[in-house]
């Protein structure tokens, strides 16, 4: 059985919607709203269709498809240049140090500053894998395929890439961080604000949120303890990001307090280590075909981009690929592919 990554199309609306209903809230890039998802797919189609290789406010939506059944079992997104239509807000954790001569004491206060520092970056997000497929490295396939797409369309993306991880959500679907900070100023629950943001953007934050720094010491303990903490379901994603060279640099989401990871685009591991080769032979079997010997392979540009795991033997002048992967990706001898090691 082979799974492949390909650009999403309008025919994928229903399966994407079914996955969105499973996210459990706080997943702003994948709202369980058909109208919003339809708009995303329209915008994605426009991004893939756009002529010219310059950084722009594009959205690229991809799906994970089972080539045997045709079922869509996962999805992910790339935002070419965030903060162009609306300001891209984050909280940046800073510090204010003050000294009292009379008391002979120095006080250090941690504060949250409303910031648009990350405006203009490329964002990877919207990754969701159907619960029935969370094995076999498919989450890594979805995540890393985005980096190879960025690499092979490098001029369309910024020099900085970010990834927002969902923060802690309680059993009732609320956010302790929202309740302790922004919720005090908006008169709406986290679920209402989250849904509004997914459909219309977070400009209302700019309109209503106080611009003054927020002293963390003044927040309730329930809010303080979740600052920069990913949702339990996002811990594996955070480890994958760190393995790719992303780091947490004290930026958090303004809604749920989840960490925003950042990296220099050209230093992302998959981008840095990927190689371009030309296929010289296709065989039924390549080597011992152990799972840990698989490579992540991609080919094609824009609408024709595809990615999958496969076995490959790169001998320099001779590059051999297994027949099943060649069929799944429609690879022929003489085609150029990009690959990177699985681990």
- CATH number of the domain bearing residue 281: 2.40.40.20
Under the banding of pLDDT at 50, 70 and 90, the label for residue 233 is confident
Name the residue among 237, 63, 238, 257 with its Cα closest to residue 168: 257
Q: Is the pLDDT of residue 42 over 80?
A: yes
Nearest to 92 by CA among 126, 117, 127, 129: 117
Indicate whether 52 pLDDT > 90. Answer: no
User: Do 70 and 190 fall into the same domain?
Assistant: yes
Domain assignment present for 102: no
Q: Is 130 a catalytic residue?
A: no
| CA proximity to 343, closest of 238, 240, 233 | 240
Q: What DSSP string runs through 183-242?
A: HHHHSS-HHHHHHHHHHH-SHHHHHHS--S-EEGGGS-HHHHTTTTPBPGGGHHHHHHHH
pLDDT at 96: 84
Cα dist. 139→144, 204, 286 in Å?
Answer: 9, 33, 24
> Quick one: 255 and 116 in the same domain?
yes
Calpha distance 44→36 (Å, rounded): 12
For residues 132 and 24, membership in a common domain is answered with: yes
39 part of a folded domain: yes
Mean pLDDT over each residue of the chain, to the nearest integer: 88
Q: Is residue 256 part of a domain?
A: yes
Whether residues 278 and 202 share a domain: the answer is: no
**Active-site annotation holder among 130, 212, 231, 303:** 231
Residue-range definition of the domain harbouring residue 148: 3-96+111-273
Give the residue, 313 or 264, on which the prediction is more confident: 264
pLDDT of 304 reads 94
* Per-residue confidence (pLDDT) for residue 273, from 0 to 100: 94
Q: Which two tokens stand for residue 302?
A: 């824009």
Q: What is the pLDDT of residue 202?
A: 62
Q: Is residue 284 part of a domain?
A: yes
* Per-residue confidence (pLDDT) for residue 228, from 0 to 100: 93
Residue 178 sits in the same domain as residue 300: no
Pair (174, 314) in one structural domain? no
Shared domain check, 130 and 223: yes
**How many residues are recorded in the chain?**
343
Is it the case that residue 6 has pLDDT exceeding 90? yes
Q: How does pLDDT run across 122-139, given as a tens digit for each residue?
A: 999 989 888 877 777 888
Shared-domain flag, residues 259 and 172: yes
The reply to whether 13 falls in a domain is: yes
| Count: domains in the chain | 2
SS3 25: coil
Same domain, 211 and 327: no
Is residue 64 one of the residues assigned to a domain?
Answer: yes
Position 26 in a domain:
yes
pLDDT at 320: 87
How many CB atoms are closer than 10 A to CB 35? 9
Q: Is residue 53 part of a domain?
A: yes
Question: What tens digit of pLDDT does each residue of 184-227 get?
Answer: 877 788 878 777 776 666 666 666 777 788 889 899 999 999 99
Domain shared by 256 and 282, yes or no: no
């Amino acid at each position: 059985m082979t799974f492949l990554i390909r650009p999403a199309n309008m025919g994928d609306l229903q399966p994407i919607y079914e996955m969105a209903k499973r996210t459990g809230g706080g997943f702003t890039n994948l709202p369980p709203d058909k109208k919003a998802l339809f708009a995303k797919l329209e915008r994605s189609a426009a991004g893939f269709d756009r002529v010219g290789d310059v950084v722009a406010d594009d959205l690229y939506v991809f799906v994970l498809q089972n080539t045997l059944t045709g079922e869509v079992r996962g999805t992910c997104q790339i935002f070419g240049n965030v903060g162009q239509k609306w300001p891209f807000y984050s909280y940046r954790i800073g510090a204010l140090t003050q000294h009292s001569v009379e008391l002979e004491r120095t006080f250090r206060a941690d504060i949250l500053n409303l910031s648009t520092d990350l405006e203009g970056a490329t964002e990877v997000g919207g990754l969701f894998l159907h619960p029935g497929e969370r094995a076999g490295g498919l989450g890594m396939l979805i995540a890393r395929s985005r980096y190879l797409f960025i690499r092979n369309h490098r001029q369309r993306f910024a020099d900085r890439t970010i990834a927002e991880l969902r923060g802690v959500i309680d059993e009732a679907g609320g956010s302790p961080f929202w309740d302790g900070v922004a919720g005090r100023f908006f008169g709406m629950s986290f679920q209402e604000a989250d849904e509004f943001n997914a459909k219309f953007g977070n400009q209302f934050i700019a309109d209503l949120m106080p611009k003054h720094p927020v002293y963390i010491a003044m927040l309730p303990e329930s809010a303080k303890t979740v600052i920069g903490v990913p949702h339990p379901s996002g811990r594996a994603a955070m480890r994958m990001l760190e393995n790719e060279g992303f780091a947490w640099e004290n930026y958090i989401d303004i809604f749920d307090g989840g960490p925003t990871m950042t990296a220099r685009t050209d230093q992302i591991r998959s981008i840095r280590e990927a190689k371009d080769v030309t296929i010289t032979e296709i065989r039924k079997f390549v080597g011992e075909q152990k799972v840990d010997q698989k490579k992540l392979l991609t080919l094609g540009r824009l609408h024709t981009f595809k990615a999958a795991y496969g076995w490959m033997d790169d001998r320099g002048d001779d590059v051999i690929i297994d027949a099943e992967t060649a069929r799944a990706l429609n690879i022929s001898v003489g085609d150029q592919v990009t690959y990177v090691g699985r681990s």
